[in-house]
Amino acid sequence: MLSNLLIVLPIFALVLTGWLARQFGALGPNATREVNRVVVYLALPALLFDITANAVPSEIWQPGFLVAFTAGCAVVFILTIGLRMRQGAPLADAAIDGLNTSYANTGFMGFPLLLAVIGETAMAATLVATIVTACVLFAIAIILIESGLQAETRRRDIARKICLSLVRNPLLIAPVLGGIVMATGLRLPEALDSYLKLLGGAASPCALIALGLFLADNSGRQPRAGTKVQTILVALKLIAQPAVTWIIAVPVLGLPAETAHIAVLLAALPTGTGPFMLAEFYQREALLTGRVILITTILSVGTLSLYLALAG
């Protein structure tokens, strides 16, 4: 448990940094929006391009692991969207909640945790999981959000407006361009690669600081959806996603023990900052998303330790 706590401690420290900066006036009331825009328009696109452009096809082609982890994400993502829309949530909000329950923090927590628990052999699978969550799942959520927002405003020319919004979205353009570079086998110039790593490295810290700023501005408020929905989302992330992933990996696919273990461990990670970036950027219910990220991160210290103890 101590090793898990040490891994999540920097996350809390960065959120606290943003909270204190707002509380003591170091950053003003517009800081949350502006810091988040830096992430959405600059840092995260650089990170997504860098991940996909430098991926090695032979390393990321792990069909068994890919099916188990992706199916676990997809089942919980679709289940959450259906549940939230039945409760009356708009498609845009339901899509963000789908990310809340299926977007594992593979980038910030996955690499150090898997390296400590399993070793170098798990790094390729962790990269695959990061591409699935940060690129594929993220892109699907953006498409659903844009579709929902256009449907809420105008019925005419919805398809054209959605397409225009998507082709201008840097979070979709960056991984597509990176995938083209990977497919062609081109090597990025060293200076460009260093630039992308410097800029992309700011994505997670800035997003966590923005979360702290947002929570400071909204302290004392309760999410419109209520604590019951918040509890359901937390349970779906920390319990349902790893459980579904285990069912697919072990009884259904019969994967080797270590491969199944890696898939379940990655699925059991708490919610990453991606959903908050979208919720704040699109001006949806970011308070609910922020609470889910914090609560799942706190509780994951116990749930991950329990899973590791049961898995031996």
Sign of CA dihedral 50, 137, 108, 45: positive
* Arithmetic mean of pLDDT, 49-74: 88
Burial of residue 188, with CB atoms counted within 10 A of its CB: 0-12 exposed, 13-18 middle, 19 or more buried: middle
Q: Are 223 and 229 in contact (CB under 8 A)?
A: yes
* Predicted local distance difference test score (pLDDT) of residue 164: 66
* Predicted local distance difference test score (pLDDT) of residue 152: 54
199-225: per-residue pLDDT in tens? 988 888 898 898 888 888 877 677 776
DSSP 121: G
Instruction: Quote the tokens at residue 183.
Output: 């497919």
Summary mean pLDDT of the chain = 86
- Strand (E) or helix (H) holding 151: helix 138-153
Instruction: State whether residue 81 is helix, strand or coil.
Output: helix
Of the ranges 164-178, 242-256, 265-279, 295-309, the best mean pLDDT one: 242-256
74-129: per-residue pLDDT in tens? 999 999 999 999 999 999 999 999 999 999 988 778 888 888 888 878 888 888 89
pLDDT beyond 90 at 54: no
| CATH code linked to domain 2-311 | 1.20.1530.20
